[in-house]
Chains A and B, each alone.
Chain A
């Protein structure tokens, strides 16, 4: 049968405020699945033109698919969010690029014609599911020297990246981190972030962490406005004595969830849904697991090539800041200045936090907001590094472009 690939668009995206993992974090007593559910419900609430039964699939990513992140989260979250039982769902895992992969996998299905509308998102409650929970790496990784021991510890891979690019030193990483905090604070002050946050009711029963009872999470907990270079310079380097990676120039351990509506463009237009970004191309690439932070470089090269674009065509970048050095490596490779205004205008994960499998949709939501503000920009990209040596990049077109 003849068929045409259809254009796929990013309709809308939301997220919970991100929290700090651990007993004092805002979500310590909140279930991971509940975080996803609140996002899905918010999407349906703010897009009443979308009949829930028109959702063809629900893809939800989580790195650790155990307990409240297990049980085929996409399906269970769909039921718990009140979607009709006719709407199926599934789970996705590509570690940090989980939500990003949920979006690209959904998009590929829609482009192929296997559905019109999907919900794609991710969650990671790193307080309830610490990194490495329940893992059982095959001993051959080490015995056959397939990867170095350090490949399993993300902080060590960031140190390895500093080793590979000695000119990307701690001072540059710290400077980048300070700017991330400043930009995030400004974005909050300008009201660029709040509109896409879903407030979450949070319960606390232990007085150690503050007032007890029900509260409401309305802002990202990890933010540290007022961070200075001097302050960062004094931080310890937990992954290596006299190393370069610190809690200040890396994203923390966080809890949070995201979700987005992805649709075939013709269906979005038919239903009157917003069209915030049009998918141009995407790519995943592998690199040595010991320097997983380098992944965005080849992934972006592939995505650009597939789109027939050059790096100079990209007007806005949303790069996940798992580690400052990993962003610097990307910018360095593509000849972009550390403080280029096109990059992470609202700040990044160093300020907001990085609940692993949820972050991809945060990048997209922020890029979509920037597209609205900057109709002169035609293309933007979202990219992130992924554990075990991968990179993921999605290139988007601004539907506002040309409507100046």
Chain B
């Protein structure tokens, strides 16, 4: 005990900002003559909006509580020990801010060891121990319960998960070892790897129980009372808890293989956490807890000292905090209410926008287009989507009726938009057309209405140039698929005023999008970075590198898709169009690929052959290609592409396209799905030495998204 206490004291000094979780010990008489019982409550003294976490002082407090109950158990004063949380929260695991300050491996080892030493005591009290998962339990919060003899869970508890792998960590306070021994390797892989890598999917109380993690499930209204009555029944021998035997044979191997396939599919071998967790699950098969816990600590320390984890924590912070408080957004008190939305165009993009606006703003949304047939088709598409959501049970009948009534079509723009507060255009990407539309809109919309454009590459300033009130025009750039990708680039044109901008940010928040303020520069952020990088890959192909070699070049980064898969998703025509726009703006850096032009001219919509399996270049596309003879290796292509990205980001920051490098990373994570372990991209460019090589400087200071200097 003293050893742990000392380690924790040292760690506590390193982390003065810890929000300390107290472990309160209170005694009670179990119902039905169950005997005297000690119940430990984890509580950091705040309400549920600040969930309970474990930092070094918190662990030391729990250790002290365990000293007390262990002595009481030894003296025969209590028949059991329970552990539960404050209202709505059990415990959400290690305090991640405490991980960020660790600069030496020995400290990381100490934290891993301390967690094991404290939590293990729940299994060595001499009396049975019980965890009552009353609410949110994540990571170490779940793990502490795994060390107990029995567990119950509330049906009202949401957010039950082991999210460590999602963040680039692993469940290293017993989770990787205890969970497979409790519920079998396959289910452990589901919880530790599959769910974590599926955008951090969490479990309901019922699912937690169904998986076998908890022995009993009780409703929220009297969860603790029923858990204590159950405890009494178990301790009196009235109830025997049965758990299915874990299959330690072929099923264990199959589970590991499944886990590796999931990890490969998600991170493509580029981030270590999932694989390290799987190694620990493999080791857990023999049930040797000492060996398992020692290996967990090593795994934790390795990951904590790795820049992938630091990049992930940085990325997590961006999407959790920065995305919610966009840098540079005007005061929200300036935002005007939006009680009706107009959409110009009724094509697929416009219809997607109409559906999103209707669902999130719950105000009338009216679509317009150049003829009634297009309008009818757009409205029918939206109504069909609403019906589909209703059929899936995602909307109630009343809500579906409300939304369908809200989305209408109207040929006469003047009638449609006379009382609209926010009108967005989603028509073909042609400046003249958009200018004409805005001029027409200006004549019919109310004076306060915001005019928004979903352009991906045109100048918003130019679009507003001829208007009487250019100050109310903003760029409102969504990413496809609109319902899935969280990013919204909000573009401030030269004359955009704070009221229009604040209104746009207010709408973005209601749409539940991560809004990033960007300057009116060609292609804004995501498309500019992707197009630059794609240009280099296509350039390499044009110059003679085999397409498959060029396409594999970025694989070590673990991007969600290869360059050609991305090109297929965007569509060759759109990619070619954006490349053209950027080439006009920056002819020196953005090339227009003649081969891509030929693909587009031939009307090809994809480069790869359709169907699963290994991607193969469509022979018809290959036949169109005219290439040079300068073949690069994968590494050369990768260097060329990364150097170009670094150069472009350096220029974007100089031009002030966004406030900081963090915004570029946030855009790439939320708009392109670039992974946490790269931190978006700038942490990777720093740690791979690319930014130093190209720009002569880091993009982020050491210690931000990287291990701090020791």
Contacts and interface: CB of A to CB of B under 8 A. Distances in A.
Counting chain B CB atoms within 10 Å of each CB, the highest count among A203, A204, A213 belongs to A213
A41 B222 contact: yes
Contact of A216 (B25, B45, B86, B225): B225
Contacts of B29: 216, 218-219
**B22, B41, B84, B225, most chain A CB atoms within 10 A:** B225
Nearest to B42: A213
B700 to A, nearest CB: 41
Contact of A215 (B26, B31, B86, B229): B26
Given A37-B221, A38-B222, A41-B221, A212 B24 contact: yes
Contacts of B224: 201, 214, 216
B26 A213 contact: yes
Contacts of B50: none
A80 interface: yes
A201 to B, nearest CB: 4
Interface of B is mostly: strand
Interface string B218-230: 0101101100110
A214 B221 contact: no
Nearest to A200: B225
A22 interface: no
B446 interface: no
Interface string A186-209: 000000000000111101110000
A81 interface: yes
A82 interface: yes
A376 interface: no
Contacts, number: 64
A214 B45 CA distance: 13
Given A218-B28, A218-B31, A213 B221 contact: no
A211 interface: yes
B76 interface: no
Nearest to A42: B222
Contacts of A216: 28-31, 39, 224-225, 228
Interface in B70-105: 84, 86-87
Given A199-B31, A211-B25, A215-B28, A80 B40 contact: no
A272 B236 CA distance: 30
A214 B225 contact: no
B473 to A, nearest CB: 48
Contact of B221 (A81, A204, A212, A219): A81
Chain B, interface residues (CB within 8 Å), range: 20 to 34
B65 to A, nearest CB: 10
Interface residues of A, number: 21
A216 B219 CA distance: 17
B143 interface: no
B27 interface: yes
A9 to B, nearest CB: 26
Contact of B26 (A37, A38, A214, A218): A214
A213 B40 CA distance: 7
A81 B30 CA distance: 23
B25 A214 contact: no
Nearest to B227: A201
A213 B41 contact: yes
Nearest to B24: A213
A80 B221 contact: yes
B643 interface: no
Contacts of A80: 221
Contacts of B27: 211, 215
B81 to A, nearest CB: 12
Interface in A1-57: 37-38, 41
B281 to A, nearest CB: 34
Interface string A346-378: 000000000000000000000000000000000
Given A201-B228, A203-B87, A218-B31, A211 B221 contact: no
Contacts of A218: 28-29, 31
Interface in B27-78: 27-31, 39-41, 43, 45
B225 A212 contact: no
Interface string B1-37: 0000000000000000000001011111111000000
Interface of A: 37-38, 41, 80-82, 198-201, 203-205, 211-216, 218-219
20 contacts: A38-B221, A38-B222, A41-B222, A199-B228, A201-B224, A201-B225, A203-B86, A205-B45, A211-B24, A212-B24, A213-B25, A213-B39, A213-B40, A213-B41, A214-B39, A214-B84, A215-B39, A216-B39, A218-B31, A219-B29
Given A38-B225, A198-B225, 13 more contacts: A37-B221, A38-B222, A82-B221, A199-B229, A201-B225, A203-B41, A203-B87, A213-B25, A213-B26, A213-B43, A215-B27, A215-B39, A216-B28
| Closest 3 pairs between A and B when the two form their complex, measured CB to CB | A213-B24, A213-B41, A201-B224
